[in-house]
Amino acid sequence: HIWEDHFYPEVVDPFTGEVLPDGEEGELVFTSLTKEAMPVIRYRTRDLTRLLPGTARTFRRMEKVTGRSDDMVILRGVNLFPTQIEEIVLRTPAVAPHFQLRLTRHGRLDALTVFAEARADATADERERAARSIVAAVKDGVGVSVSVEIVDPE
């Protein structure tokens, strides 16, 4: 439920900003109704959800957040953008500029695996060093631990 005495919720099309009818998925936007010193007007959360049709209850309901309208990922409390990983992969020797990020959940913890494509001429030792280098660079630069798999070029 959304406390409508304090916030006015809207769901908008993430590309056009057009307000969508109840039940359609889009980006959640809030306007504060009671903040005076620092009002929040049409704050775009970047969270994708939908407002559920009204019921006999007093306040509106919202479906759980199903995704994001930008490409940011929150991994164990850290905001992570794929472009941060891309920068690291691009400067890593023995790795081609092709990679995939896979976010999985193990129990209650999210885990990120980086699958990076090896260059065709990379040796097994170079691949191993590249994987360790990416793990260390992500930990140092982004602040999260990831696992890395160097895969064969296709």
**Which of these three, 48, 68, 88, is where a domain ends?**
68
Decide: pTM greater than 0.85: no
48 and 107 housed in the same domain: no
Q: Find the domain containing 117 and state its range.
A: 73-151
- Please provide residue 131's backbone torsions phi and psi, each rounded to the nearest 5 degrees: -60, -45
78 and 102 housed in the same domain: yes
pLDDT value at residue 1: 62
- Please provide residue 140's backbone torsions phi and psi, each rounded to the nearest 5 degrees: -70, -45
In a domain, residue 147? The reply is yes
Check: CB of residue 84 under 8 Å from CB of residue 72.
no
> CA-CA distance, 8 to 41, in Å (whole number)?
9
> CA-CA distance, 94 to 47, in Å (whole number)?
37
What is the tally of structural domains in the chain? 2
19 and 79 housed in the same domain: no
For residue 44, list its beta bridge partners.
Answer: 29
In a domain, residue 83? The reply is yes
Which among 128, 70, 71, 66 is positioned nearest to 95, based on CA atoms? 128
Across the chain, mean pLDDT equals 89
**Which of these three, 18, 51, 68, is where a domain ends?**
68
78 and 137 housed in the same domain: yes
Sign of CA dihedral 68, 74, 78, 83: negative
> CA-CA distance, 97 to 89, in Å (whole number)?
7
pLDDT value at residue 6: 85
Mean pLDDT of 124-140: 97
Mean pLDDT of 70-95: 90
Check: CB of residue 97 under 8 Å from CB of residue 85.
no
Q: In what order do the strands lie in the sheet containing 95-106? A: 95-106, 109-118, 147-151
In a domain, residue 101? The reply is yes
Residue type, 117: E
- At 33-58, the pLDDT tens digits run 888 888 889 999 988 999 987 765 67
**Which of these three, 68, 99, 116, is where a domain ends?**
68
Q: In what order do the strands lie in the sheet containing 7-12? A: 7-12, 26-32, 43-49, 67-68
In a domain, residue 53? The reply is yes
Q: How many CA atoms lie within 13 A of 111 on its CB side?
A: 9
